[in-house]
Amino acid sequence: MTSHTRISIIDFSENAIQEYKPGEDEAIPVQEGLRWVNVEGLGDMQQLEKLSTVFGLHHLVMEDVLNTAHRPKIEDYEDYLFVVMKLFHYDNKSENLQEEQLSFILGSGLVISFLENANDLFNPIKDHLAAGKGRLRRRGEGFLAHALMDCVIDRYFLLLETVGDRIEHLQERVAGNPTPDVMIAIQNLRREVFFIRKALWPMREIASFFEKDDSPLLSDTIRPYFRDLHDHIIQLMDMLESYREILSDMVEIYLSSVSNRTNEIMKVLTIIATIFIPLTFITGIYGMNFVHMPELAWHWGYPLIWLVMFSVAAYMLNLFRRRKWF
Amino acid sequence: MTSHTRISIIDFSENAIQEYKPGEDEAIPVQEGLRWVNVEGLGDMQQLEKLSTVFGLHHLVMEDVLNTAHRPKIEDYEDYLFVVMKLFHYDNKSENLQEEQLSFILGSGLVISFLENANDLFNPIKDHLAAGKGRLRRRGEGFLAHALMDCVIDRYFLLLETVGDRIEHLQERVAGNPTPDVMIAIQNLRREVFFIRKALWPMREIASFFEKDDSPLLSDTIRPYFRDLHDHIIQLMDMLESYREILSDMVEIYLSSVSNRTNEIMKVLTIIATIFIPLTFITGIYGMNFVHMPELAWHWGYPLIWLVMFSVAAYMLNLFRRRKWF
Amino acid sequence: MTSHTRISIIDFSENAIQEYKPGEDEAIPVQEGLRWVNVEGLGDMQQLEKLSTVFGLHHLVMEDVLNTAHRPKIEDYEDYLFVVMKLFHYDNKSENLQEEQLSFILGSGLVISFLENANDLFNPIKDHLAAGKGRLRRRGEGFLAHALMDCVIDRYFLLLETVGDRIEHLQERVAGNPTPDVMIAIQNLRREVFFIRKALWPMREIASFFEKDDSPLLSDTIRPYFRDLHDHIIQLMDMLESYREILSDMVEIYLSSVSNRTNEIMKVLTIIATIFIPLTFITGIYGMNFVHMPELAWHWGYPLIWLVMFSVAAYMLNLFRRRKWF
Amino acid sequence: MTSHTRISIIDFSENAIQEYKPGEDEAIPVQEGLRWVNVEGLGDMQQLEKLSTVFGLHHLVMEDVLNTAHRPKIEDYEDYLFVVMKLFHYDNKSENLQEEQLSFILGSGLVISFLENANDLFNPIKDHLAAGKGRLRRRGEGFLAHALMDCVIDRYFLLLETVGDRIEHLQERVAGNPTPDVMIAIQNLRREVFFIRKALWPMREIASFFEKDDSPLLSDTIRPYFRDLHDHIIQLMDMLESYREILSDMVEIYLSSVSNRTNEIMKVLTIIATIFIPLTFITGIYGMNFVHMPELAWHWGYPLIWLVMFSVAAYMLNLFRRRKWF
Amino acid sequence: MTSHTRISIIDFSENAIQEYKPGEDEAIPVQEGLRWVNVEGLGDMQQLEKLSTVFGLHHLVMEDVLNTAHRPKIEDYEDYLFVVMKLFHYDNKSENLQEEQLSFILGSGLVISFLENANDLFNPIKDHLAAGKGRLRRRGEGFLAHALMDCVIDRYFLLLETVGDRIEHLQERVAGNPTPDVMIAIQNLRREVFFIRKALWPMREIASFFEKDDSPLLSDTIRPYFRDLHDHIIQLMDMLESYREILSDMVEIYLSSVSNRTNEIMKVLTIIATIFIPLTFITGIYGMNFVHMPELAWHWGYPLIWLVMFSVAAYMLNLFRRRKWF
């Protein structure tokens, strides 16, 4: 969590738009038209307290905004709706999955969004508002809330594409000659899919709430948009379920490939050992120093023993071939 | 996705039928009687836009028609119902399962169907309509929607037959002397069954919607037909569940067969090694060059040592036979 | 499916009973009292068409009667109820599980039953009706429908007894020295249990429908009988679940027994090899032909080397015994 | 099932109590106050028929009482409630789990209990009634039914304690040096837990029925007692679930212990073999009989070869130690 | 369970607070304002009886308070609510998970809490009450009940942190060179997570009951606080689910690591054995004592045989390298 807090306030109507960036000690200006307050970074407790007082938020809401270990949820505080969501990205350096919390409040004529870190997630929406021709300017706070959620869901599609690439990369490694670290990589990816799934699951309920709730904050024209969002989340869930299935198949393929290799190794050992151990025994016999061993004096004894050994080896090889060992 | 779009418009009533194929720049003719618009190929955005405007479709509907990664669903847009379905076929060349999206709109007196690719899926229905004696001509748009869905479900029966053949083929390979690629083939088939199941599951809800909904678009006489369709989908789901069960049994049989083979190989090695290693040790003894080894000078020493060795070997073989190793 | 169709019509009341067996070209006689039409064999399309016309059945019903791949279900066609059920028996020759479809229609004063094959399934009911003293003659079509279903469920009890015997037989084979074909036999039995379960599951709903539905075809006095039937089906489901549990335990026992045997084989190999390989090495040393090897000339060299070898072997055996290898 | 039937009839009110034991041919005396009929042993059909007639029981009830393969259930026959329950005990000789059926009827002022075998299960309740000071005498048939069920549930607590002891005993055997029969013992215990669970599960519903039903047979003051019983059953289910979890962990520990042992055995074999096989090869070289082998004549040849062999062995041992093989 | 019982009674209102610690034989003082009775240790039956009489508790409640094997639950006794909860801590010595039961009664103006052992769990609440400025003093018994439950849930967060540390510690051990006791440690931890989950699960329902119930004991202003508690419990459940997932992955990694090691060991054995067994055979040949072995007399025979042996070894090594065995 970064230690500072950046607040930007955008007041807009169909015809006008105005952005404020109040400093730490400046007051919040009076609202004109619809207002979107975007808070980036949750480090400056003083500023957040000020916001909470100005907009009359329940202290449990502020606690939830700050407790970034929350699972996604929607809560109805009568005057406003409070929504918590999760975002994920892969850290560039450590390649680990990073979680980020994001929450927003949808009140009458007012949207307040909180981002755990300062980043540019909502810049496209700002640009869109500034450009001034979209539905967003005309249609009120519900559409802005939809735009924020849509923006988050789009990020999930990008995230799942990355996960899909990683799975494909792992599949190639499993297909070849898998080493134990492939197993660990599969399990890591499984756990990441598990975490993403757990964060996405309650977001389905959030979208469904917006689709079905009859709150006065939500007009009828917006419902198809939230139904669409709901659809997208289900599509994401489907992708995650496929990933889970594929990853769990990969574990099975990995394990079966390890046991196949043990099998291969055993076969090589057995073929070599079962051919040469009897032959070595034969040489051992005629290496004995008994005084009375008639064969040793035979003229064709040595070539004969070679013949015997070749026969034994040929018989063995034939046996293994019949068993399809090679 | 192919880049062109082929539109065919069929206006029909119990007594008359008329087909138009408007070119890219031609207007859509005025509707007479019931109308079925069949769109094949989603490449020509301009034509699709035109359609959307003429028939007053919500822009989210058009987005869903074009986004071919959608899962099957039904949506009620008050004036019309919007249905998305999936089709599968095995690519002739790559032998991979190909997915195709198919959607249709059921409005008052109007059905618009969209196919991702230009193909002849709905030709039987066209022929049926042209022949002009079926229920289809008399009974209105609901029956046409049913005919489209029925046509899709029939394709699934063909598809599942192919999958069944593939499973049978794999079963033979598993029963014999399975190689690691059998495992991969099983997993591939499992994943295909998984994808088909996921596409079919929501189609149950679609059929159920048509069976139970009291939309004015649907008459009472049509309900038994949708109930029948619902039944067929459940029958397909049952087949898929059986396939899944069989495939997961096959994984177990494969794995147990690999571990049985390891067992076999180990047995061969152990039998040969445990018989000949002690014998070789005996020959080793009498191969030593000690000056004072009385046995070497015995007249019956050599035959005696053969006797000893035979006894050891016989004892070992007997032991293994008692343990049922061969 | 056999190619002929055998129709027998039984008209009965408390006091009278009359059976007709109309030939292919004869008309169906006029109904007196309650009527039970029993159709065995679905091969003669013409006769079935005739029946369908006489009793005014929906053409979807006739399609379902003929499509023997249907899952059990109940459908309410307002004038009558339509029920599909499944029966199983083991083929005498191939020992495979054979499926047979059975459907019946319960109308006002009328029951029509369809059997896929001509067999004597319902003979006990005929005899019972003919004997003329049971509840069946007095109490109407609902009781006849119950008798048909009860007859089917009784067959399931016999079937599950056979399955239970087969499981017991397999258990003995697994306990001994299991071969790979035991595994395949377990999986086959699992699949059979799976199919029986799938056929039985929807029959629970059918019994439950009859128990709870307030159709005028069903009187209040009959409900306890259908509740009893429902109970029996649940009892069958419980047995199947136990079988499933036992079979899946058997797979685990089989696999663990295979890995135990590998263990045993490894132990034998290791004991023999680790004892004799060092001894053979020792004999190898004194088999070398170096000119200067003082030990070879020692008078007690040969007995001494025996002593050394005995010590090594005893030490090894002691080591293995301490590790509880034998 | 024993062949005789022992009936005892207890009529009681707050002030008086009277016990009859009617012989086979004696009539049932007229009821005074509340009546409890306890039937032990279901062998004497004639007596059971007599009971059924006297108390006006449905013939399906009597069938269920006699069919001891029933699962627990509750049925509402308007005039009375019919409850079937299961009991288990370990047979002293065979150590197998024995199942016993128990059913009772709760009518107005009347409880009839049926025990499959003659045993002393309900003696504590008889003693309690005879002692005459408890709630039981004052409060009517609902409390008596509760006492019977409570008595059964107490037996389950004893049973689960025994199962718990067996699990603990097995855990010790798994922790040590598990033999294949441990696996079979685990699976047997698993199956027993499975059967107990299946018998207990529907008893939850029975308790819940008594807790919630508004039958006139049940007063409001009794509800907390049935809620308490319900709680106890859930507690038993929880214990069974824990047992199941522990037993399935034990299977995993057993299997992993077997594969660890294979590992250990392999290690011993590999260490001995890889050290001595190369050394034996070296002795083999200088055991060859070539005429021209200069090393054989070297004065320090023999000590030198010892040095070489020591170095090889030391290198190998070092290698294994670095790989942490011992 | 300790044998003594420590009762402390705190009567408080917004302005005053008074604490009594009645001795064994002292009466309970008359209530002023809100009353919180905290009972630590359940050993002194006499005192508990006295409490039960004074506050008019149902005797089933007292039984449940004393039966510490109960699962968490909430029961509505009309005049008061009765709540049972569980706490866990790791025993300092044995490192085992210890369970403790905790129950409380929420009546009008009255909270009675029972702790199985005397400990300082609720001291922070006492201090908070004494300090006298919080919501707790002003807002009544519902808030006190919330404070007690919140206190318990906070303990769970600490507990899960400890569990998380243990999992991390195990993960390091699995990643390295896992010994069989790692497997047992994983299973132990799994079982602990299982028990915590089972205790936490019904607490969700308790929180949900307080959130939704319209009991007069609970005001509207308190609902968001119980919703918050509910959220925290779901967060804990999520953490436990993640732990479970991670632990079950660890079992798979452990097993795959064991089979990988077997693989490694096999490879070493096979490489050494397949190289030296054929070589030893060759030396065996020229160790034979046949009179007619021309090679032995060749001048370059000995160097030649070295060449042959080098070639064989090189060929073998090359083969293994091509198979990527090292």
Separation in Å, CA B94 to CA A250, B91, C153, C167:
22, 6, 48, 43
Q: Structure tokens of D208?
A: 């819940």
Question: A285, B289: Cβ pair inside 8 Å?
Answer: no
Question: C60, B253: Cβ pair inside 8 Å?
Answer: no
| Average pLDDT, integer, range E246-254 | 90
Which tens digits make up the pLDDT trace of A289-316?
Answer: 888 888 888 888 898 999 999 999 999 9
> Which segment of C97-106, D33-42, E89-98 scores lowest on mean pLDDT?
E89-98
C169: burial class by Cβ within 10 Å (0-12, 13-18, 19+)? exposed
Per-residue DSSP letters for B141-178? HHHHHHHHHHHHHHHHHHHHHHHHHHHHHHHHHHHS--
Residues C225, D59: Cα–Cα separation, whole Å:
10
D184: burial class by Cβ within 10 Å (0-12, 13-18, 19+)? middle
pLDDT of residue B175: 77
Which tens digits make up the pLDDT trace of A121-170?
Answer: 898 888 888 887 666 777 788 889 999 999 999 999 999 999 999 999 99
pLDDT of residue D134: 65
Confidence band of E291 (pLDDT split at 50, 70, 90): confident
Indicate whether E216 pLDDT > 80: no
Amino acid at C144: L
Which tens digits make up the pLDDT trace of D49-98?
Answer: 888 999 999 988 998 998 887 889 999 888 899 999 999 989 888 788 99
pLDDT of residue B134: 65
Q: How far apart are the first and last CA of chain C?
A: 61
Question: A227, B75: Cβ pair inside 8 Å?
Answer: yes
What's the number of CA atoms in the CB half-sphere (13 Å) around residue E263? 22
Token match 């249709």: residue? B104
| Average pLDDT, integer, range B93-102 | 87
Residues B259, B279: Cα–Cα separation, whole Å:
30
Instruction: Give me the percent of chain A exceeding a pLDDT of 90.
Output: 43
Disruptive mutation site among E270, E312, E317 for chain A (greatest number of A CBs within 10 Å): E270
Q: Structure tokens of C196?
A: 């029986």
Indicate whether B2 pLDDT > 90: no
Phi-psi region of A60 (alpha: psi -120 to 50; beta: other; left: phi over 0): alpha
Confidence band of C1 (pLDDT split at 50, 70, 90): very low
Disruptive mutation site among A226, A249, A324 for chain B (greatest number of B CBs within 10 Å): A249
3-state secondary structure of B309: helix
Q: What angle do CA E104, E109, E112 make, to 5 degrees?
A: 20
Disruptive mutation site among E188, E251, E276, E277 for chain D (greatest number of D CBs within 10 Å): E276
Question: E288, A283: Cβ pair inside 8 Å?
Answer: yes
Question: D224, E254: Cβ pair inside 8 Å?
Answer: no
Which tens digits make up the pLDDT trace of A232-277?
Answer: 999 999 999 999 999 998 998 898 888 888 888 889 999 999 999 9
Q: In D, what residues contact E, Cβ < 8 A?
A: 175, 224-225, 227-228, 231, 234-235, 238, 241-242, 245-246, 249, 252-253, 256-257, 259-260, 262-263, 266-267, 269-270, 273-274, 277-278, 280-281, 284-285, 287-293, 323-325
Residues C7, C24: Cα–Cα separation, whole Å:
9
Question: E287, A287: Cβ pair inside 8 Å?
Answer: yes
Residues E240, E246: Cα–Cα separation, whole Å:
10
Is the pLDDT higher at C245 or at A176?
Answer: C245
Partners of D101 in the beta sheet?
D86
Question: A290, B273: Cβ pair inside 8 Å?
Answer: no
Q: Kindly list the partner chains of chain D, i.e. chains with 3 or more CB atom pairs below 8 Å.
A: C, E
Indicate whether E25 pLDDT > 80: no
Instruction: Say which of B245, B269, B324 has its CB closest to residue C194.
Output: B245
pLDDT of residue A3: 58
Q: Work out how many CB contacts closer than 8 A connect B with C.
A: 121
Q: How far C152 CA lies from chain D's nearest CA (Å)?
A: 19
Residues B91, B93: Cα–Cα separation, whole Å:
6
Residues B21, C209: Cα–Cα separation, whole Å:
51
Q: Are C193 and C241 in contact (CB under 8 A)?
A: no
- For chain D, 326 residues long, the average pLDDT of each consecutive 10-residue run is 77 87 81 89 87 90 87 89 92 85 92 88 87 73 91 93 93 82 90 92 91 80 89 92 92 88 89 92 90 87 91 93 84
Q: How far apart are the first and last CA of chain B?
A: 61
Which tens digits make up the pLDDT trace of A1-13?
Answer: 445 888 999 998 8
C36: burial class by Cβ within 10 Å (0-12, 13-18, 19+)? buried
Residues B178, E153: Cα–Cα separation, whole Å:
54
Q: Structure tokens of C145?
A: 């429908």
pLDDT of residue E3: 58
Question: A191, E249: Cβ pair inside 8 Å?
Answer: yes
Give the residue among D153, E289, A275 at the shortest CA–CA distance from B272: A275
CB atoms within 10 A of CB D296: 19
Q: Are D110 and D34 in contact (CB under 8 A)?
A: yes
Supply the mean pLDDT for chain A. Answer: 88
Question: B263, C261: Cβ pair inside 8 Å?
Answer: yes
In chain E, which residue's Cα lies nearest the Cα of A260?
A: E263
pLDDT of residue D59: 87
Instruction: Give me the percent of chain B exceeding a pLDDT of 90.
Output: 44
pLDDT of residue C133: 65
Indicate whether C303 pLDDT > 50: yes
pLDDT of residue D1: 45
Indicate whether C318 pLDDT > 50: yes
Indicate whether E304 pLDDT > 70: yes
Q: Are A311 and E315 in contact (CB under 8 A)?
A: no
Q: Structure tokens of A192?
A: 């990441």
Which tens digits make up the pLDDT trace of C104-117?
Answer: 999 988 999 999 88
CB atoms within 10 A of CB B120: 9
Disruptive mutation site among B179, B197, B269 for chain A (greatest number of A CBs within 10 Å): B269
pLDDT of residue C272: 92
Residues A262, A276: Cα–Cα separation, whole Å:
21
In D156-219, at which residue ranges do the beta strands (DSSP E only) sit? Answer: none
Q: Kindly list the partner chains of chain C, i.e. chains with 3 or more CB atom pairs below 8 Å.
A: B, D
In chain E, which residue's Cα lies nearest the Cα of D264?
A: E262
Confidence band of B1 (pLDDT split at 50, 70, 90): very low
Residues D12, D18: Cα–Cα separation, whole Å:
6
Residues 6+ apart with CB under 8 A from B318: none
Indicate whether C192 pLDDT > 90: yes
Question: C290, D302: Cβ pair inside 8 Å?
Answer: yes
To the question of pTM greater than 0.95 for the whole model, the response is no
pLDDT of residue B133: 65
In A13-142, at which residue ranges do the beta strands (DSSP E only) sit? Answer: 17-20, 34-40, 73-76, 81-90, 97-107, 110-115
